[in-house]
Amino acid sequence: MGKVIVMKHPLIQHKIGWIRRTTTGSRDFRGIVSEIAMLMCYEATRELELEEIEIETPICKTKAKELKGKKLAVVPILRAGLGMVEGMLTMIPAAKVGHIGLYRDPETLEPVEYYCKLPEDCAEREVFVVDPMLATGGSAVAAIRMLKDKGVKNIHFMCVIAAPEGVKAMEEAHPDVDIYIGGLDERLNDHGYIVPGLGDAGDRIFGTQ
Ligand code: PRP
Ligand code: URA
């Protein structure tokens, strides 16, 4: 059974307060989302397995620890997930990056798929799907379904803000996936926006509105 982990780290909470503010412009918004992703990555990778290897320092042979087995991949859900990639790669520079393009139909709130390009060996990797917002959960559920259809088994989902409705949808559709959340909000409004939330993450990252 996957875990739902809401981040408690004070730096993450402080930075989320800044991106929620209407007065935070695109440049700062982008920078802070990236910093949050970096901090969340640090927290979300706590349980990666290590193995002991032998290395040689300039002084002598010794034992060191190395990440065991599976290599990692980061898969942002376009567009807003792109804002989390740099922060993730700062922590895990060797990770490969796949892209899944989905947008939410504004009328039905259903996800519409328009792009999917994954690393060739994605099925063998431990995959972190990233998207700042988990609202109805439609986009995350569909993205993870796409990954599973391509044989990916080890999947984690990271979002900056989640609504309880989205968490429930994910738990029902993908009970095996761990969910890492920066801040768990109150609810969705009638337009499917998270309350209090931060507005439209893609528009705020890319300055499109
Ligand atoms: C936003 C957000 C998520 C989705 C969350 O993307 O980045 O992908 O909405 O909503 P859901 O949980 O109800 O599916 P959007 O569809 O606005 O596309 P964009 O990133 O291209 O702006
Ligand atoms: N997508 C966003 O960008 N913001 C929300 O509040 C909900 C979905």
Tell me the CA distances in angstroms from 64 to 2, 9, 48, 56, one per residue in order.
Answer: 30, 28, 16, 9
**pLDDT grade for 109, boundaries at 50, 70 and 90:** confident
With a CB cutoff of 8 Å and minimum separation 6, the contacts of 188 are: 135, 136, 163, 165, 194, 195
Residue 205 CB–ligand 2 contact under 6 Å = no
Residue 70 has pLDDT above 80, yes or no: no
- DSSP designation for 8: -
Pairing of the two strands 61-67 and 50-56 = antiparallel
Using CB atoms within 10 Å of the CB of residue 148, give its burial: 0 to 12 exposed, 13 to 18 middle, 19+ buried: middle
Query: Is 158 within 8 Å of 128 (Cβ atoms)?
Result: yes
**pLDDT at residue 209 in the model:** 86
Which residue type sits at 155? I
pLDDT-above-70 percentage for the chain: 100
Rounded to an integer, the average pLDDT of 98-126 is: 93
- DSSP designation for 10: H
Sign of the Cα torsion 44, 46, 52, 55 reads positive
Rounded to an integer, the average pLDDT of 17-29 is: 98
**pLDDT at residue 120 in the model:** 94
Rounded to an integer, the average pLDDT of 170-197 is: 97
Pairing of the two strands 99-104 and 111-117 = antiparallel
Segment (H or E) for 111: strand 111-117
Q: Return the residue whose CA atom lies nearest to atom 3 of ligand 2.
A: 200
**pLDDT grade for 176, boundaries at 50, 70 and 90:** very high
The span from the CA of 81 to the CA of 66, in Å, is: 28
Residue 99 has pLDDT above 80, yes or no: yes
Residue 4 has pLDDT above 90, yes or no: yes
Q: How far is the CA of 69 from the centre of ligand 2 (A)?
A: 35
Q: How far is the CA of 103 from the centre of ligand 1 (A)?
A: 6
**pLDDT grade for 53, boundaries at 50, 70 and 90:** very high
- State pTM to two decimals: 0.96
Catalytic: which of 30, 104, 125, 204?
104
Summarised one tens digit per residue, pLDDT across range 76-96 is 999 999 999 999 999 999 999
**108 catalytic, yes or no?**
yes
Rounded to an integer, the average pLDDT of 14-24 is: 98
Pocket probe for ligand 1: among 84, 134, 139, 187, the residue whose CB has the most ligand atoms within 8 Å is: 139
Pocket probe for ligand 2: among 82, 167, 186, 193, the residue whose CB has the most ligand atoms within 8 Å is: 193
**pLDDT at residue 198 in the model:** 98
Query: Is 127 within 8 Å of 147 (Cβ atoms)?
Result: yes
Q: How far is the CA of 171 from the centre of ligand 1 (A)?
A: 18
Residue 161 CB–ligand 1 contact under 6 Å = no
Residue 1 has pLDDT above 80, yes or no: no
